[in-house]
Amino acid sequence: MKRRDFLTKAGIGGAAAAAGLGGALIGAPGAKAQSGAPIKWRLQTYAGASLADFVIKPQIEAFNKAANGEMVIELYTADQLVPTSELFRNVQNGTIDAAQSDEDSMASPADVAIFGAYFPFATRYSLDVPALFEHWGLNEIWEEAYGEIKGVTWLGAGSWDPCNIATTTPINSLGDLKGKKLYAFPSGGQFMSRFGVVPVSLPYEDIQMALQTGDLDGVCWCAITEMYTVGWADVLKYYLTNNVCGAWVGSYFVNSDKWALVPEHLKALFKLTCDSSHYYRQHWYWWGEAHYRVAGEKLKLTTIPDAEWKTVEDEALKFWDEVAKKSPRCAKVVEILKAYTREMEKAGRPYRY
């Protein structure tokens, strides 16, 4: 089904689109159609098809198998049903039942959304994300924030890869970044624009062609594992080892009404498979970030000297303070990030170097 047809039918009430998607849906998504019929969900991820094979497809396949016919989730990749920037709204109105994405690029209206994706230098390692959410109070803050927004239930966050810059020309100093058109997340691009970067927003599937045509000079979107996995390493030439953030923060969202219709045992099963996906990404990205730097032959590594890169790190703290002024809740998150950073620095190796 074409996206336009999908949206036209979905606008009638969401359920009307169910019969046409893949020819497999029976009745309205998110509800039992008839006695004994499975619950049907549509879930769209931020990830393109090749990346989704790792960051979510194993989870959905496992859930569908373990649900034993009681519930079936159909997985759609980046922009397949709706643009990623419209994901939140479409989960909220029930057009899509669930989404996996960072809050920043899916246009979440929550004040904490700016901390999704790559909030500059908020994390150094992927384990920082679950540590912050599970032990430093971010779970409770996010639950509070989304409890104020009708129609969407936030189920939890996990970590992905670091944020590095890869380009078609070498980056050896901050001056080399000036004027570079980079595909970037909203908040990350906003921050890096302070160093002359020109952030660009395009559909995910158009990035490789834009790099080939010169419409983009590079990406500030992911790290090296993802660049090799999705094919960007085939058209990029240089990889900057300095990262802007140590781990991407992504979350799972569901339509609140559809979630209420799911039996408790299937809710528990879905959350368990989310945790399984978080675990898989922890080791898959950790393996890949080292492997492709050492064994990968497509990207030449470059590095900005630490003393010069410290300028970027110092500017990030100014950015934090600006974000803290947006709301009392944002200020609370920033204070937690600062306290966490101080503790990690005092703890020393292996927490901080």
**Tens of pLDDT along the chain (353 residues)?**
455 454 444 443 443 333 333 333 333 444 444 457 999 999 999 999 999 999 999 999 999 999 999 999 999 999 999 999 999 999 999 999 999 999 999 999 999 999 999 999 999 999 999 999 999 999 999 999 999 999 999 999 999 999 999 999 999 999 999 999 999 988 889 999 999 999 999 988 899 999 999 999 999 999 999 999 999 999 999 999 999 999 999 999 999 999 999 999 999 999 999 999 999 999 999 999 999 999 999 999 999 999 999 999 999 999 999 999 999 999 999 999 999 999 999 999 999 97
Tell me the backbone φ, ψ of residue 136, rounded to 5 degrees: -120, 10
Domain identity same for 177 and 261: no
Domain identity same for 198 and 343: yes
Strand partners, 158: 250
26 neighbors 33 (Cβ within 8 angstroms): yes
Domain identity same for 202 and 335: yes
Cα radius of gyration rounded to whole Å, the chain = 20
- pTM for the full predicted model: 0.88
CA distance 48 to 51: 6
- The helix (H) or strand (E) run that includes residue 326 is none
Residue 263 within a domain? yes
CA distance 307 to 287: 28
Residue 125 within a domain? no
Residue 135 within a domain? no
Residue 300 within a domain? yes
Side chain identity, residue 255: N
**Chain length of the chain:** 353
Domain identity same for 182 and 225: yes
Strand order in the sheet with 71-76: 71-76, 39-45, 98-101, 249-255, 152-159
DSSP state of 115: G
Residue 331 within a domain? yes
Reduced to 3 DSSP states, what percent helix, strand and coil does the chain have, rounded to the nearest 5? Answer: 50, 15, 35
**Structural domain for 23, as ranges:** 3-110+149-159+250-287
Residue 116 within a domain? no
